[in-house]
Amino acid sequence: MVSLAATFGRGAMTNHWRDIRHADLILINGANPAEAHPVGFQWFMRAKLDRGAKIIHADPRFTRTSAVADMYLRIRTGSDVAYFGGLINHVLQNNLFHDAYVRNYTNASFIVKQGYAFNDGLFSGYNPDGRTYNIATWSYESDSATGFARRDMTLQDPLSVFQLMKTHYSRYTPEVVSSITGIPVADFNKVADLVGQMGKPDKVMTIVYAVGLTHHTTGGQLIRSGAVLQLLLGNMGRPGGGMNAERGHANIQGNTDHAISWEILPGYLRIPAPGQKTIADYVAQSAPKKSDKNSWNFFGTNYSKFMVSTLKAWYGDAAKKDNEFAFNFVPKPAQNSSWMSIYDQALKGKMEGLMLSGMTAASIGPDSNQVQSALGKLKWLVIMDALPTTSSEFWRSPGADPSQIKTEVFMLPATHWIEKDGSFVNSGRWSQWKDQVLPPQGQARHDHWILAELFQRVKKLYQSQGGKFPDPILTLTFDYKDPLKPELDEIAREINGKDLTTGKQMTTFANLKDDGTTTTGDWIYTGSYPDSGNLMKRRGGIQDPKTNDPTGMGFYPNWSWSWPLNRRVMYNRASADLDGKAWDPSRPGITWDGSKWVGDVPDYPATMNPHDPNAYLPFIMNGEGVGRLFSNGMVDGPFPEHYEPVESPVANPLHPNNSASPVAFLYDKAAGRPNRFGTPQEFPYIATSYRLTEHEHYVTQHVPHLVQLQPKPFVEIPYELAGQKGIKSGDRVRVSSKRGKVEVLALVTKRLGPMTVAGQKVYQIGIPIHWGYVGISADSDPSHGRYWLANALTPFVGDANARTPEFKAFLVNLEKM
Amino acid sequence: MAGAGALAASGLGFDIAVAESTRVRQSLRIAGAKEQHSICPYCAVGCSLVAYTRQTSNGTTELLQIEGDPDSPVNEGRLCPKGATAMQLAISPRRVESPQYRASGATGWKSVSWDFVLDKIANNIKASRDASFVTTDGNGNTVNRCEGIAFAGGAAFSSEEGYFATKLMRGLGLVHLEQQARV
């Protein structure tokens, strides 16, 4: 999501599920929606059946998505930057981009500072010792008179983003793309022809992806390469277009928005950094800066209002002007503190306690064996879950000696989704309220009641005993009828925020202030719960399309509530041309009616005349006001570049001297632990991991019907490779990496097959994640699922931007047992 | 063929007499049930569910049926195999019924009270926080962070719970805060 924010300004699916039916062409990469999001996939099929849309599926594995696609491309896992890069090159070399859109709505015309360079796989500013880039040269040349970025609207300046991009991608010829991805040149050219037609104003393409793109050391750039292509074709902000991330869990979106994530505060405000003493310091280092005279720079301009209003929501009267609204109550991390860092710190003996709710570290990995070692180095571990997990049981997993594991473990029975109300936010940002249908089973308690009571008990300890910096604990607001049992309705009202002067609920974040007179728990949800009531409960759906879908575009504004401000397609100013007319009148997003914008809720001032010389540019969250083809929002390069996975059977055909990402974070190396990467000589096959329709991560191992549908763990092995090894379906096989092994059944299939990459024949093996030593299957297995954890194989390494593990591309060996 | 003739005779494709007698004989499983709305707990398509419950004579709530909500613009009543079996996740004999505790080095769980676990965990949080809290870093910057406790979770939280968890954990000074998005 960091890549979408670095390109468009917000890190979320830009459109929504139902909207996909408006597309003319659907590119699916790193995803298998027909199986992983089957009900969402109906909208892909509607596009295909109702308007003749074409579906192109690029995936290592032929799946049910491929089966209904117009083209299936067997692509090597992790090579999608080359695929999108080749498409970008095709569009640029043949002038197939949407000219007016690219000139006016992207930073193609911006001039980049002297000193920017890209040579042999390295961008300018590389520091090999720290494995980091100094990104000073990845910025714009500023105009000395205005201070804004210099632009060349002819796009001819050799230092313009447009020309630099054209040069950068000129290397991605169809032959190079084929060599890296394994896609035959003729197939790639067919796709390029189809994609090349999507730059016409009356055509629109969507790109849909899931964790098949994110779970790589190049994950951020894999996504950004698609985002750049979409900007060139003018497909962002438009119904039927966009960059559409399919989230895998019911409420990842809501809980990312609300910042259960080390690097942010609610609403994607950055976590403060050491050295920032005041709100002004914080905003100066965190907020986007205006770099064009017509840029609204909405986020940057209002950053301090959102931050101060959040501090007021959290610290109430203790947040005052003369203490910088309690700015020093917010912790300032020294270093990356994300998922793998937790276990890395535990291995170093620096992490004492861990609380897990609805997440099981032992199964999630990566490198499950190392993660389990880390769990054994904690002083205490708390699991909040409705059902046992591999983490709650790690101390007695098959082969473990509980007496040697010193961690104190607590298993707290938590309630299920259906035993509590509150909202779930889907991938398309629709915040949908649910009822409490059942009372808690047994002694189960709600997670938030467990946390509330723990917090109150900790607070009492600080009140009675004192301790380190108790101020935030003692002053954190708890304005709930029962502080031990806050209602989710009360919390929803707090998230929306209120005007402290009038006592009224806020109706829009535009009215938030930085003088301490307004509150918000999360500014992007301001407007979801005004005094008129909880808009997330709204149920105006397809029972009455005439009333509930007045535009006929499927926005359904009276069904639930969508952030921001109930807008259904983000960046929708870009759905209209400079005059405010829809690029395609048959699929309008918003249009100018002479006095106001009509259609979807505008991502733009509602009455700003597009002919006003001061009219704002369309991407209001970016300092530039336009979409970024070139971005300094990424730490591994301003343009996406293909790098090999950290474990790869081939050297990078583009720059073998800098084969893998030069800035991927190698945790073991940085910590001085022994190398845990394998070589192609020992581990000759590529492996990738994925989910099955009947599975949701790990919890479905407790659901009898689903276990009956997928009773036993297996790996998928290409037919030709199985033939060489004498492996038949149903045989037991061992798949091993440098880090661990799985011993499961073989499923021999033609859905996977050999491919030619960099002149070599390579095979990919498919490994569904799910099984482990907890669940119905394990209970009926003699070894109790001892070698069933797929993530025992995966490498402990992270993407430079998001520190996302490389679950989807690594090397293994395969043996018949 | 006789059956086909009878169906054709009704002109409706089914036999009214049979249908009416069936209606009289059967009562719907959800007849008189309380109808509420939920959202599927699995992936992020966000399919709406209709859940039917009935209060039993002994005061418990019986879950009768979960099905796709036909009004939803997202799923239009449809569900996949996971959503369609959501009842087996909602009601399960495999649930952890009471708080469990495994002491350091112990070989089994012990069923304990809520008061016992909450008291112990609160004391652990206080001790680990005090032991790992950094008020000022090596450069003299005020940083007020707790380095030795991590919290991860939330993909199954209601959003409001997630917000509440963030607020409380940041209130304790945690920097290691994580959820499912990255993994």
In tens, the pLDDT along A570-613 reads 999 999 999 999 999 999 999 999 999 999 999 999 999 999 99
Per-residue tokens: A509: 């974040």
Average pLDDT in the B57-85 region? Answer: 96
Give the helix ranges, DSSP H, for A59-148: 64-68, 80-93, 99-105
Q: Which residue of A has its CA nearest to B40?
A: A250
Note the pTM of the prediction, 2 decimals: 0.96
Of A251, A359, A706, the CB nearest to B85: A706
> A187-228 pLDDT, tens per residue?
999 999 999 999 999 999 999 999 999 999 999 999 999 999
Residue B10 predicted with pLDDT over 90 = no
Q: Do A399 and A510 reside in the same domain of the chain?
A: no
Q: Do B63 and A467 touch (CB under 8 A)?
A: no
Same domain, A440 and A519: no
Residue of B nearest to A404 (CA): B105
B54 touches chain A (CB under 8 A): no
What pLDDT score was predicted for residue B154? 80
Cβ distance A762 to A704 under 8 Å? no
User: Do A326 and A447 belong together in one domain?
Assistant: no
Instruction: Give yes or no for a contact between A349 and A407, defined as CB atoms under 8 angstroms apart.
Output: no
Q: Which residues of A710-732 are buried (b: 16+ CB within 10 A; e: fewer)?
A: beebbbbbbeebbeebebeeebe
Facing residue for A425 by CB, picked from B100, B159, B179:
B159
The average confidence (pLDDT) of chain A is 97
Distant-in-sequence, close-in-space partners of A173: CB < 8 Å, separation ≥ 6: A86, A89
Provide the CA A590 distance to its chain's centre, in angstroms. Answer: 27
| Chain B interface includes A342 (CB < 8 A) | yes
Backbone angles phi and psi of B21, in degrees to 5: -65, -35
Is residue B20 predicted with pLDDT exceeding 80?
A: no
Q: Does residue A528 carry a pLDDT above 80?
A: yes
Whether residues A25 and A124 fall in one domain: yes
Give a yes or no: residue A295 inside a domain.
yes
Is A289 part of a structural domain of the chain?
Answer: yes
Whether residues A105 and A237 share a domain: the answer is yes
On whether any CB of chain A is under 8 Å from the CB of B180, the answer is yes
- Mean pLDDT for B62-70 is 97
Cβ <8 Å between B73 and A542: yes
- DSSP secondary structure string for all residues of B76-131: TT---HHHHTHHHHHS-TTS--S-EEE-TT-SS-EE--HHHHHHHHHHHHHHHHHH
- A370-426 tens-digit pLDDT: 999 999 999 999 999 999 999 999 999 999 999 999 999 999 999 999 999 999 999
Q: Best residue in A424, A551, A694, A707 to probe B by mutation, most B CBs within 10 Å?
A: A424
Shared-domain flag, residues A732 and A671: yes
Whether residues A283 and A386 share a domain: the answer is no
Q: What pLDDT does residue B25 have?
A: 56
CA separation, residue A234 to residues A179, A569, B179 (Å): 29, 15, 33
Contact A788, A713 (CB under 8 A): yes
Q: Which of A479, A512, A528 is a domain's end point?
A: A528
Amino acid at A659: S
Q: How much is the pLDDT for A294? A: 98
**Residue A13 in domain:** yes
In this complex, is the C-beta atom of B25 within 8 Å of any C-beta atom belonging to chain A?
no
CB A224 within 8 A of CB A605: no
Smallest Cα distance from A771 to chain B, Å: 16
The alpha-carbon gap from A564 to the nearest alpha carbon of chain B, in Å, equals: 15
Q: Does B2 touch chain A (CB under 8 A)?
A: no
C-alpha neighbours within 13 Å on the C-beta side of residue A269: 28
The reply to whether A560 falls in a domain is no
What CA–CA distance (Å, rounded) separates A622 from A631?
11
CA distance A458 to A451: 10
Task: Please tell me whether residues A167 and A304 are part of one structural domain.
Answer: no
Tokens (6 digits) for A611: 């002919």
Kind of pairing between the strands at B61-68 and A353-357? unpaired
State the pLDDT at residue A136. 93
Q: How many domains does chain A have?
A: 4
What average pLDDT score do residues B63-75 get?
97
Put simply, the answer to whether B157 touches A359 (Cβ < 8 Å) is no
Domain presence at residue A549: no
Percent of chain A with pLDDT over 90: 99
Residue A472 belongs to some domain of the structure: no
Nearest CA in chain B to A453: B118
CATH number of the domain enclosing A408: 3.40.50.740
Same domain membership, residue A182 and residue A167: yes
Mean pLDDT of B93-115: 97
The angle formed by the CA atoms of residues A250, A252 and A253, to the nearest 5 degrees, is: 100
Q: Rg of chain B over CA atoms, in angstroms?
A: 27
CB contacts, 8 Å: B109 with chain A:
411
The last residue of one of the domains, among A495, A528, A561, is A528
Q: Which pLDDT score is estimated for B8?
A: 44
CATH number assigned to the domain comprising residue A681: 2.40.40.20
pLDDT at B9: 46
Q: Strands A741-749 and A430-434, how do they pair?
A: unpaired
A387 → closest Cβ in B95, B103, B160: B95
Whether residue B87 lies within 8 A of chain A, CB to CB, comes out as no
Q: Which residue of A has its CA nearest to B53?
A: A437
| Nearest Cβ partner for B46 among A430, A448, A450 | A430
Q: Based on the fold, state whether residues A179 and A211 are members of the same structural domain.
A: yes
Nearest residue to B147 (alpha-carbon basis) of A345, A90, A688, A98: A345
Mean pLDDT of chain B: 90
Nearest CA in chain A to B65: A437
On whether residue A593 sits in a domain, the answer given is no
Q: Which domains does chain B have, with CATH numbers?
A: 1-28 (no CATH), 32-95 (2.20.25.90), 112-182 (no CATH)
Whether residue B43 and residue A258 make contact (CB cut-off 8 A), yes or no, is: no
C-beta atoms of A255 and B162 within 8 A: yes
Q: Which two tokens stand for residue A536?
A: 């997330």
The enclosing domain of A135 has a CATH number of 3.40.228.10
A720 touches chain B (CB under 8 A): no
pLDDT grade, residue B5 (50/70/90)?
very low
pLDDT at residue number B7: 44
A122: its two tokens = 């390295």
| Pairwise CA distance, residues B45 & B52, whole Å | 22
User: How far is Cα A114 from Cα B12, in angstroms, rounded to an integer?
Assistant: 78
B67 reaches A (C-beta below 8 A) = no
Residue A766 lies in a domain: yes
Question: In this predicted model, what pLDDT tens digit does every residue of B137-159 receive, in sequence order?
Answer: 999 999 999 999 999 998 889 99
CB nearest A413 (choices: B42, B89, B99): B99
Residue A395 sits in the same domain as residue A511: no
In this prediction, residue B4 carries a pLDDT of 42
| pLDDT (0 to 100) of residue A433 | 98
pLDDT for res B22? 57
**CA dihedral sign, ordered A648, A653, A659, A663:** negative
- Model confidence over A110-125: pLDDT tens digits? 999 999 999 999 999 9
Asked if A384 and A302 sit in the same domain, the reply is no
- Confidence band, pLDDT 50/70/90 cuts, at residue A11: confident
Domain that holds residue A277: 272-332+487-528
Provide ipTM, 2 decimals.
0.98
